[in-house]
Each structure stands twice: as C-alpha cells, then as structure tokens.
Amino acid sequence: MATEIHISQSNARKITSLNPATGETLRELECADVAQVQAAVVRARAAQGTWFQLGVKRRVGLLREFQARLHASKSQIAAAITREAGKPLAEALVTEVLVVLDATRFLIDNAWHLLREEPLPHGSLATKLKRGRLLREPHGVIGIISPWNYPFSIPATETLAALVAGNAVVLKPSELTPLVALELAELLHASGVPRDVFQVVIGEGPTGAALLNSAIDKLVFTGSVRTGKRIAAAAAERLLPVVLELGGKDPMLVLQDADIDVASSAAVWGAFVNAGQACLSIERCYVHRSLFDSFAAACAAKTKQLRLGNGMDANTDVGPMIHEPQVQIVEAHVEDAKARGARVLVGGRRLPELGANFYAPTVLAEVTHEMRIMREETFGPVLPIMAFDDQEEAVRLANDSEYGLAASVWTRDAKRGERLARRIHAGTVMVNDVISCFGISEAPHGGVKASGIGSTHGRFGLEEMVRLKYLDTDRVPRMKKLWWHAYGESFRRQMEGFLDLQFGRGLMKRLSGALRAAGAVRRKRL
Ligand code: NAD
C-alpha cells in the first residue's frame, strides 16, 4: 500500500479521480491538510539522514530493483496512466514508462561518478599548498509538485534523481492524476525505498501551497506559468531554491528545403500527441511560403486519418483531453482565431459523440500573431500554420513569444538547421525531430524566458538535487599564511613582487618579482 495522507474529520476535502475518456469515477481520495503535509515533511527529514548514509552505490542498487519492477509491470502502469490521463496506451508506454526506465538507466550508469567527490586543483601560486575538493551533498527534503499531463514520467524522473542523490522526497501530484502517483509510490516502496523517504500528499492547489510553505529544502515545480510565478514569489520570501518547469508555445520552422512528407508527419504527431497536452507540443508552425499549400494540405490529410477514441483501444491515435476547463481553453483559442480570419482546414469543434472531453484535432491556416492561438499556451489538439518569406522572418517569428521551452527546425541541410537553431531562444532546439528530447535521458530539460528556471533530467537535473560544498584542507597547517597581519611597506613591496611573479609580462619581470616576493616567506606574522 502506498503512503497516503488521510484526514479523519468527515468534512475533509475530497478529490475525485475520473477517467477522462468515459467520465467514470475511478476513486475518491481525501486531501492532505496543512498539518498533514508538515508532518510528512518532518517524517521525511527524520528518515533522510539514514537514507544518505546508505551511500550512492546502495541507492543505485535500489534503482536497479525499481527498474526491474517497472519493466515487469509496464503494461499495468501504462493502463493506469491511460485510465486516469486519457492518452493512448502506446503513448503511455513510450512517453512515460520508457522515459522512466531510461532515466533510471542513466542514473544507474552515471550517478556514482556524477555525485562523487571531485578534486579541485588550484591554479594560483598563493593557494598551491591547499587541497580543494568539491562535495555534492543532498539538500535534505525535496518537495515535488507535478502536473497531470505526464503524471508518471515527470514526477518519477525528478524523484529518482532526488533520491539517488540522497534526498527524501514529498510529492504533491496533480489532483487530476493522483492514482498514477500512488502507483509510483507503490513501485518505489516495493523496491526498498523506505516509506518516509518517498511520500505522496494528495490534494489540490492548497496542498501544494502547504508543501511549498513547509520545511522543505528545495522545490521542483512543473506546471503552468501562472502557478509557477506564484510559487516563485512565495519561495523568494524565504529564499527557498526552486526549479520551475513551466509552459511552452513551441515553434516548428519548416525551411524551403524540408521534406514535406516527413515534416508534415512530425507536425501532426508533435501537435496531437497526448491530444496536444504536452509542454513540448508544436503550438506554432511556420512554413516557407513556397511549401505552404502542399505542407498544409499534407497536414490536413494526415489529421483526417487520425483515429480518436478511448486510449485503452490499441487502435486509438488521439484520446480525450483531460477535462472540461482545458477543452474550453482550446475552444476559446480556436473561436478567437476564426473570428480574426483564420481558416479551419480540419477539425475546429468538439466531438460530443465520443465523450465530453473530446476535441477534434484541428489544423488552422491564415493565422497571425495577433491571435491568442499564436500567443498563449493552448495545450490542446490544434496545429496553427503560418507562412514566412525568409529565414530572418522565421527566426523573428519563432522568438516573438514570452515562452522559450523548445523549438524545431526542419531542413535537408543539417548545418543550416544548426545555424538557425543557435539563434532561437529556447532551452532545446531539435533539428529534424520534435519532443523526443524529453526521452533523451542525458539531455537537460528546461526552458528560458517564461518557460522556467533550472533543469530536470540528465547530469544537470541531478546537479539540481545537490548543493555544492567546497572542502579545503591546508597541507602545511603549522605555517602562518603569507598574507596575514602585520603589514608594512616592505610587505607591500613583497606583494607587488608576488603579483609580478605570477602575472608579469616576460621572464625578467617575473624573475624580479620572485626576488622581491621571496622575503615574504621569512616575514614575521602576528
Ligand atoms: P498547474 O499549474 O495548474 O498545476 C500544476 C501543479 O501545481 C498541480 O499539482 C497543482 O495542484 C499545483 N498547484 C496549483 N496551485 C498551486 C499553488 N498555489 N501552490 C502550489 N501548488 C499549486 O498546471 P497543470 O494544469 O497541472 O499542468 C499544465 C501546465 O504544466 C502547462 O502549462 C504545461 O506546459 C506545464 N508543463 C510543463 C512541463 C515542463 O517540463 N516545462 C511539463 C509538463 C507540463
């Protein structure tokens, strides 16, 4: 049984986990209140010391066990994800389970050498007699607040990095997908991670706020820019370090020499994977004017072939959206675009015949940057396509956004694509691929501008889970340092000599500096 926080009063606030495809109630759960969140953090702190003392190798051993258990239960976990988040089973396997298995592989292979003590040799003559080392110490208790769109891979990748580094974790998953988080807890506990070292607190925003305000040592937040800004403001009050993985409005740039068939398939997958509810979704597509008509026609034709339905059916390409408020945002963005002159090539409406949360994958043409669909995060199945005339305009349009999570450039000329990629303001730019960067366990994941602060995944995600401590040991403890009191004119001259010895131009200058500095060794110090 996973660690859950229950409150006994009958008036405890409850959340209901629903299947977004069918509306069926999966389970009711009670929300953790402030006292319960605080108590979870106290338990986590008490357990963290022993967890850290286990050492990286033993913790890596538990990760191996976790990986084996996850692999063995891959279909069961994928089904739990599909039931609660709606995405097709194949996506649950590839974009969630596979991502976590591989992130675990990365930590198993690399945690030991990335976390080990590092010698820090000194370059300066003044400090040659000292031995420096860099230690990577866990923060203590890491709070993780996660969203519903990747309810397994997001909290799991963050949690595994935090745990292997020796932290305890208290996770507040999205109120829309609590059951997947409890599956994660069950797997971790069965693998040998102590219950107090990884805990889940269930609830809505107030439970997240309680975690933020508790005695955690760092917070890793993934969610919307709106909530992220509130988190950052509250964290600033107490100088709590935070990682913020926030929204995106990722551009796709299709250059004149792109392969239309490949790029249009990428656009359709990138816009409609997880019903467009991915932070890395293609939300803006810019196509060279010479390709526009054929590219848009190819996208429309491929979109028409998508099979919509319950993600539990293996033939489903696109499942439902998560819930009504998200459908309303998509509807509002599409209606705004239509009212301002956008042309709907396919879709553009709800699909009540399939269920309350289904919205037709939609391709829009004649869109402009005055429309909400090109400025605000839509987070739904819409592919707006806009023409550009030259490369400069493409870069300007791509960068004309408050977001900077990821981007992609499509061209047959990889060098040209890379040159353009360097000019795009984003945490990641892919040339001839989209979204898969999230599954590249070595790559840092994180955005610039409003898309966030800091990284998760890979080496840099692991670095976020530790604080650096510089350890310095003097090799000649019985010697008073040359730069200590008492000063005087001859000492000033000796130090000038010392600076010349190290930084003077030419051998003569250095030698003369050495002669003047030599007296400092014999100088009487207090
Ligand atoms: P959200 O901001 O509404 O909620 C995220 C989490 O924050 C939830 O667990 C929620 O309960 C909690 N929360 C809400 N109010 C809070 C408060 N005041 N204090 C503390 N916690 C609070 O986001 P969402 O709708 O769950 O997720 C969708 C958003 O997440 C999109 O904007 C998407 O782009 C973004 N996202 C970003 C990444 C990334 O890696 N950059 C990944 C996935 C999703």
Cβ contacts of 172 within 8 Å, gap of 6 or more? 37, 143, 144, 145, 146, 200, 201, 202, 203, 207, 208, 211
Structure tokens, 22: 């069918």
Q: Which residue has the tokens 């391709």?
A: 363
Task: For ligand 1, say whether the CB of 381 is within 6 Å of any of its atoms.
Answer: no
Q: How far apart are CA 180 and CA 186, in angstroms?
A: 10
Tell me, in angstroms, the distance from the centre of ligand 1 to residue 247's CA: 9
Task: For ligand 1, say whether the CB of 254 is within 6 Å of any of its atoms.
Answer: no
Q: CA geometry: angle at 227 spanning 177 and 3, to 5°?
A: 35
End-to-end CA distance of the chain: 65
Residue 402 CA: distances (Å) to CA of 97, 201, 267, 333, 420: 31, 32, 22, 17, 19
CB 172 within 8 A of CB 182: no
Q: What is the structure's pLDDT at 12? A: 82
Q: What is the structure's pLDDT at 11? A: 67
pLDDT above 60 (res 8): no
CB 246 within 8 A of CB 225: yes
Q: Whose CA is nearest to atom 8 of ligand 1?
A: 174
Tell me, in angstroms, the distance from the centre of ligand 1 to residue 144's CA: 11
Q: What is the pLDDT of residues 205-232, one digit of tens each?
A: 999 999 999 999 999 999 999 999 999 9
pLDDT band at 7 (very low <50, low <70, confident <90, very high): very low
CB 73 within 8 A of CB 187: yes
Instruction: Enter the pTM of the model.
Output: 0.96
Nearest to 55 by CA among 131, 105, 112, 122: 112
All domains of the chain in start order, with CATH: 32-246+459-469 (3.40.605.10), 250-442 (3.40.309.10), 480-522 (no CATH)
Across residues 306-310, what is the average pLDDT? 98
pLDDT above 50 (res 444): yes
Task: For ligand 1, say whether the CB of 149 is within 6 Å of any of its atoms.
Answer: yes
pLDDT above 70 (res 2): no
Across residues 167-179, what is the average pLDDT? 98
Q: How far apart are CA 298 and CA 136, in angstroms?
A: 51
| Catalytic (active-site) positions | 245, 279
pLDDT above 60 (res 109): yes
- Quickly count: other Cβ atoms within 10 Å of residue 69's Cβ: 17
Q: What are phi and psi of 468, to 5 degrees?
A: -80, 135
Q: What is the pLDDT of residues 320-331, one digit of tens each?
A: 999 999 999 999
Nearest to 57 by CA among 113, 120, 122: 113
Q: What are phi and psi of 257, to 5 degrees?
A: -100, 15
Q: What is the structure's pLDDT at 6? A: 44
